Amino acid sequence: MSRERLSMRNIREVLRLRSYGLSQRQIAASCHISSGAVCEYLRRAEAAGIGWPLPEGLSEAELESRLFPPPPAPTAVLRPVPDWADVERELKRKGVTRYLLWEEYRATHADGYGYSRFCQLHHAWRGVSDPRMHQVHKAGEKLFVDYAGHTMPVVDRKTGAVRDAQIFVAALGASSYTYVEATWSQSLSDWITSHVRAFAFFQGVPEIVVPDNLRSGVRSPCYYEPDLNPTYQELAQHYGLAVLPARVRKPRDKAKVENAVQQTERRVLAPLRDRTFFSLEALNEALGEGVDALNNRAAPGLPATRSELFATLDQPALRPLPAVPYQFAYWLKARVQLNYHVQVDEHWYSVPYTYLKQQVEVRLTAATMEVFRQSERIASHRRSYQKHGYTTVPEHMPPAHRAREEWTAERLIAWASKSGPATAAAIEQLLTAREHPQQAFKACLGVLRLGQEHGGQRLEAACRHALTTQTVSYRRLKGLLSRPLEQLTLPEPEPPTPPLQHPNVRGARYYDPTER
């Protein structure tokens, strides 16, 4: 069997779901792959001695090499299989026959099936292409979630502006027990937090959540392999459940929630049509009362009320809630820039400089920011809301940058004092001449390197000369050190001039009252 191409994240999901006791068919439906592929991955994991949780420190590359060693050279070429859905669409066009389509197929694939086998395979495909099956829901197994097509207006008391609130609906499969709440949007944050509150309402966790192919939850609604939003997948891992998105344009996959949405619109929203709500809290309070009435109402076709069925069927079968509710987190993609930082929400966070130019994933919560590369966390920071600011960890910097960052004014003066007091005084004067001492660090390092080139004694003499003439600078000291040593010797100071003697000069004693 040829291996279906999956990301290592999805293969990890297969192993995780198997550890919860899900069947291969349920895992295949959740990951949207064939049961044969699930069986193959589990067989390979068992052969490689890999189970869930995965061994600590196992990278994605190591996992793939252990599960999928290089295959042997192929010994036979499989016949290409026609796209039967495309064949079916073409047959509906005027003048198109099956023989014509077979001729076009053989023109493209000379080694393809003969006409009789082509017809047999097409008949077999048509026999199973669109089966109908009555859905029987096991207690505590599935929770169906979706948004209602109707919205509810909320009026701002101050401005009078009207804003439409979205209606989130969740219904358990076996009992049809329903939860409804209003949120401002269908964004990812509202979508995830509605799930968290729904689990708290049901006081338990189902085995499977069946959402519609909503963009907030399913990033790429592919028919065969819908790509879950990383945040949604993280929610599933936190609560230990599987996410099985409904197929695109297949309402039978979510008939339970379609009915729950219809009942919500008729029994909960419609009675509130003439009421005016001035806050989301007031709307949710009214929705809660309506949902309680819906769940306690005897409905046609049900042997008991939704609340009674929930108490006897779903509630005992639900898994317990985790000790801590899921904390919402955004997952973003970013690229490490040449300054070994990634920009998130207009703030720069450092990552190890060895990941320059590589694409990484960022997990962002209200308090933390984490960076991952191939599912391995490579950096973690406290989240900062300072626009255009930098959060840098010294260990992430290259050695040369780190050494430069570690320089301080005190350290520079201490190093200069090894050459002498004049050198230390010259460095201190350079630091105090700038508004910020860091602006003079480069010049100070240049002066100290002059001592390495010319010796500490000559640098001390040059600094003494520059201090006397009040011309301390890197360029001045470099010029002085290019001269012979005797030219750096300061001349003897001249004797002081005696005070002027004149009868009109009163002197300092004139102002001393004790002398009068």
Range in 300-309, 350-359, 422-431 the model is least confident about = 300-309
With 80 as the cut, is the pLDDT of residue 500 above it?
A: no
Stretch 372-395: mean pLDDT: 88
175-193: per-residue pLDDT in tens?
889 999 999 998 888 999 9
337: left (phi over 0), alpha (psi -120 to 50) or beta: beta
Helix (H/G/I), strand (E/B), else coil: 69: coil
Task: Give percent of the chain above pLDDT 90.
Answer: 25
Q: Are strands 162-172 and 142-147 parallel, antiparallel or unpaired?
A: antiparallel
pLDDT of residue 249: 52
Sign of CA dihedral 4, 9, 11, 17: negative
Distance CA 472, CA 468 (A): 9
* Span 118-141, pLDDT tens digits: 998 888 887 765 555 455 678 888
Q: What are residue 155's DSSP bridge partners?
A: 162
Compute the average pLDDT of residues 470-477: 89
The stretch 9-33 carries a mean pLDDT of 83
Position 467: which residue type?
L
Cα–Cα distance for residue pair 244/210, rounded to 1 Å: 5
Strands 208-211, 242-243: pairing is parallel
What average pLDDT does this structure show over 97-103? 88
Q: What angle do CA 209, 295, 152 make, to 5 degrees?
A: 75
Which tokens go with 165? Answer: 């609130």
Q: How far apart are CA 474 and CA 429, in angstroms?
A: 12
Statement: residue 207 has pLDDT above 50: yes
Q: What is the pLDDT of residues 260-312, one digit of tens each?
A: 888 888 889 989 988 999 999 999 999 999 999 999 988 766 778 999 989 98
Q: Is 484 helix (H, G, I), strand (E, B) or coil?
A: coil
Least confident piece of the model among 49-53, 304-308, 385-389: 49-53
The confidence band for 3, taking pLDDT boundaries of 50, 70 and 90, is: very low
Alpha helices (runs of H) in 73-187, residue ranges in sequence order:
84-91, 98-108, 115-128
Most confident listed range (73-87, 354-368, 476-490): 354-368
Instruction: State the chain's mean pLDDT as an integer.
Output: 82
Question: At 425, is the pLDDT very low, low, confident or very high (cuts 50, 70, 90)?
Answer: very high
Using alpha carbons, list the distances in angstroms from residue 282 to 148, 279, 289: 19, 5, 11
Query: Cβ distance 390 to 401 under 8 Å?
Result: no
CATH class of 142-317: alpha beta
| pTM of structure | 0.53
Q: 156, 212, 158, 148: which is closest to 183 by C-alpha?
A: 148
Q: In the numeric block, which tokens belong to residue 152?
A: 């509810």
Q: Are the beta carbons of 360 and 373 closer than 8 angstroms? A: yes
Tokens of 357: 């130019």
Mean pLDDT of the region 188-207: 93
Q: What's the CA gap between 237 and 385, in Å, rounded?
A: 28
Among left, alpha and beta (phi > 0; psi -120 to 50; other), residue 242 is beta
The amino acid occupying position 6 is: L
The amino acid occupying position 12 is R
Which of 47-51, 165-169, 469-473 is predicted most confidently?
A: 165-169
Which pLDDT score, from 0 to 100, does residue 2 have?
41
% residues pLDDT > 70 (the chain): 80
Q: Where are the domains of the chain?
A: 8-67, 84-128, 142-317, 330-403, 407-488
- Does residue 217 have a pLDDT over 80? no
Alpha-carbon distance 220 to 223, whole Å?
A: 9
Concatenated DSSP letters for 341-399? EEEETTEEEE--GGGTT-EEEEEE-SSEEEEEETTEEEEEEE----TT-EE--GGGS-H
Tokens linked to 455: 């010796």
* Axis-axis angle for helices 98-108, 115-128 (nearest 10): 110
Average pLDDT over every residue of 153-166: 92
